[in-house]
């Protein structure tokens, strides 16, 4: 697993808004600041037309950026409805809906890198429970959220559907931030 961290910089200069976009930059009394080049200097996938997916989670690169609202607790909900991996015994494809819910601390997950990371499991033989726990471990290692829950709802095999849910920190109420099944 390769991790990329955006540099934390406290001094940011205000952008000079283009007249056509100034309405998007001001919302009531709150000023919406654009990401500066230094905030995004370690983001390598976003804004590029990269089409080659990593062949394994070890090759994938998760990227993160500074959370501008780290003083506030808020939930980020990410859903991957087309997740696939391989059964480690039969080699048959396993399909799943992966839900990730987290309260960020200093860093947030960049979603294009997450998409590539999740797609890297498509040729990876692994048990469903291992996949959910690996995703949680990799994300917690990369962005150290205050709370995170990862749920995988896997397609039925042999008439049994498996749902696995893992959370961090230990003892965290796993229902926090999750929508009902």
94 an active-site residue?
Answer: yes
| Cα 14 from chain centroid (whole Å) | 28
- Which residues lie across from 168 on neighbouring strands? 148
Which position among 30, 73, 80, 94 bears the catalytic label?
A: 94
End-to-end CA distance of the chain: 30
* Contact between 99 and 114 (Cβ < 8 Å): no
The whole-angstrom separation of Cα 88 and Cα 95 is: 13
* Contact between 78 and 103 (Cβ < 8 Å): no
87 an active-site residue?
Answer: yes
HEC-encoded secondary structure of 71-107: CCCCCEEEEEEEEEEECCCCCCEEEEEEEEEEECCCE
3-class secondary structure, 2? strand
Tokens found for residue 47: 């804004």
Which position among 30, 79, 80, 87 bears the catalytic label?
A: 87
Q: Give the residue among 98, 76, 99, 69 at the shortest CA–CA distance from 85.
A: 98
Q: Which residues are catalytic?
A: 87, 94
């Amino acid at each position: 697993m390769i991790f990329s961290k955006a540099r934390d910089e406290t001094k940011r200069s205000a952008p000079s808004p283009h007249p056509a976009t100034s309405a998007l930059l001001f919302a009531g009394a709150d000023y919406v600041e654009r990401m500066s080049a230094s905030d995004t200097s370690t983001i390598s996938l976003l804004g590029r037309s990269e089409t080659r997916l990593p062949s394994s989670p070890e090759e994938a690169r998760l990227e993160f950026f500074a959370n501008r609202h780290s003083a506030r607790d808020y939930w980020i909900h990410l859903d991957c409805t087309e997740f696939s991996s391989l059964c480690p015994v039969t080699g048959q494809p396993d399909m799943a809906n992966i839900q990730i819910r987290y309260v960020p601390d200093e860093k947030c997950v960049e979603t294009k890198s997450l998409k590539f990371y999740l797609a890297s499991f498509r040729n990876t033989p692994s048990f469903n429970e291992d996949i959910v726990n690996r995703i949680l471990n990799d994300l917690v290692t990369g962005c150290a959220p205050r709370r995170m829950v990862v749920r995988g709802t896997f397609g039925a095999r042999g008439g049994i559907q498996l749902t696995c849910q893992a959370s961090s920190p230990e003892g965290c109420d796993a229902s926090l931030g999750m929508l009902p099944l």
